[in-house]
Structure 1
Amino acid sequence: MISKINLENILFLDIETVPEVQHFSDLDETKQALWEQKSQYQRKDDYTAEEFYDRAGIWAEFGKIVCISVGYFAFKGDMRNFRVTSFFGDEAKLLKDFKNLLNTHFNHPNHLLCGHNAKEFDFPYIARRMIINGIELPHKLNLFGKKPWEVPHIDTLELWKFGDFKSYTSLKLLTNVLGVPSPKDDIDGSEVYRVYYEENEIDRIVIYCEKDTIAVAQIFLRLRGDELLTDDEIFHI
């Protein structure tokens, strides 16, 4: 029962990713050929590999993380706070800083990581990019040899499926049906490439990523039957 989980033991998170380099032409010939093979099924004959390249951030082998936002609950008596912070900029540095947070503050066996569609995307993406950057995996992301019930991850998409594996429910749709304030009031995921590479506005991406992290926490509260966070309970650190 998720209602029995101590909220202070959960680290909520979201990531934003972009292609590893801005243009398809910036890749060497080998990587271009590999991208063409990798994307062939998704783009079919509708796009060339170059035309499809702005979507390369979806794959950890061709993309990179530009922001990881995290949030966690803190209680003082009857007061409930939700604190949000972000790691952004140079990928290797932000990954090391995120790992340090996990090792320092979220390394107890009872600690859990939570995201939306995170088992399919965020968690494996972070782990793969850490390995690519030569960073040893922290315990919470090292799943080698773990049984399914030993994996310290919660996925709000998985919770919402209630065992139905045929459907996908976006964060935007789920916030709408559950009455959670929408985080999609400026940009959405399809615009991160443009905002990062063409407009150089990392601050907008950080704000967007933090709003998604807050939305994940709000959804988790709704699934537990708890009251939603109010604006005065949310603190950006």
Structure 2
Amino acid sequence: MLHKLNLENVLFLDIETVPEFRDFSELDDEKKILWEEKSKYQRKDEYTAEEFYERAGIWSEFGKIVCISVGFFSYRNGSRNFRLTSFKGEEEKLLRDFTALLEEYFFQPYHLLCAHNGKEFDFPYIARRMLIHNMRLPSKLNLFGKKPWEVPHLDTLELWKFGDFKHYTSLKLLTHVLGIPSPKEDIDGSMVREVFYEKGEIDRIVQYCERDVLAIAQVILRLRQENLLSESEIVSI
């Protein structure tokens, strides 16, 4: 089935998230208690709630999105290219801009969203943050009442699991074992909070996010046993 998929109908994406506030001290008293309760299982007795707050970005109730990068294939006159663009900065605006893209270009029933571990992280995170901002969910993220086969999401992690629900493979490991060249990384996921809050270098985060989107597209090509994208086929818009 993957070989029959029209890649022009797929929007590849990745998000980068950080804690909603720079410091734990900026939370109101009630939110501090809620964070302490939420993080208790993960931090156990090794960290205080305040010390653990730097990891808050992975929870949509305590984090926020600072970048959504997307990419899509275009086939014209016998040539192929992969177009990349990003939405960055203030969360509500980037979510509205992302929604506008979905509603204008990726709204048909045959359109799919694709991410690595997207079903567990990216897609629900985006949807929850939209609802927190009292935004209407675009059809591609509104899963209420849909049957599993009606969900318009593709997940490279799920594809690689081959039904093994206990198995987790990072995108970095997956690209390595599939022989996908990886450009030198300026930062990794553990550094995003510091780069955003301490250094204010959002463009470094965007570049990191876009590299992941490209990697996801390359994984799909490898799973289809097609030629990988060359540098000349990658276009920033």
Category of TM-score, reference length = shorter chain? over 0.9
Relative to the length of structure 1, the TM-score reads 0.99
Contact 1:172 1:184 in 2 (8 A): no
Q: Which whole-Å deviations, capped at 9, do the CAs of 1:4-40 have from their partners, x for residues lacking one?
A: 0000000000000000000000000000000000000
Work out the CA distance in 2 between the residues paired with 1:140 and 1:19: 26
Q: Which amino acid aligns with 2:130?
A: M
Work out the CA distance in 2 between the residues paired with 1:90 and 1:183: 28
Q: Which whole-Å deviations, capped at 9, do the CAs of 1:171-204 have from their partners, x for residues lacking one?
A: 0000100111225611111000000000000000
Q: Which residue of the partner structure matches residue 46 of structure 1?
A: 46
Q: Which residue of the partner structure matches residue 199 of structure 1?
A: 199
Given the superposition, is the C-alpha separation of residues 184 and 24 from structure 1 closer, same or farther in structure 2, using an over 3 Å criterion?
A: farther
Q: Which residue of the partner structure matches residue 173 of structure 1?
A: 173
Secondary structure of the structure 1 residue equivalent to 2:50: coil
Q: Which residue of the partner structure matches residue 187 of structure 1?
A: 187
Work out the CA distance in 2 between the residues paired with 1:209 and 1:80: 22
Q: Which residue of the partner structure matches residue 213 of structure 1?
A: 213
Q: Which amino acid aligns with 2:149?
A: W
Q: Which whole-Å deviations, capped at 9, do the CAs of 1:70-116 have from their partners, x for residues lacking one?
A: 00000112100100000000100000000000000000110000000
Q: How does 1:47-126 map to 2 (within 5 A)?
A: 47-126=47-126
Work out the CA distance in 2 between the residues paired with 1:186 and 1:57: 20
Work out the CA distance in 2 between the residues paired with 1:62 and 1:126: 13
Q: Which amino acid aligns with 2:45?
A: D
Count of residues in Structure 1 that have an aligned counterpart in Structure 2: 237
Gaps of 5+ in 1: none
CA RMSD of aligned residues (A): 0.7
Secondary structure of the structure 2 residue equivalent to 1:140: coil
Work out the CA distance in 2 between the residues paired with 1:45 and 1:160: 35
Q: Which residue of the partner structure matches residue 231 of structure 2?
A: 231
Q: Which amino acid aligns with 1:144?
A: F
Contact 1:183 1:212 in 2 (8 A): no
Task: Say whether residues 1:18 and 2:2 are aligned partners.
Answer: no
Work out the CA distance in 1 between the residues paired with 2:7 and 2:183: 21
- Percent identity between matched residues is 70
Contact 1:116 1:171 in 2 (8 A): yes
Contact 1:183 1:215 in 2 (8 A): no
Q: Which amino acid aligns with 1:129?
A: R
Contact 1:10 1:113 in 2 (8 A): yes
Gaps of 5+ in 2: none
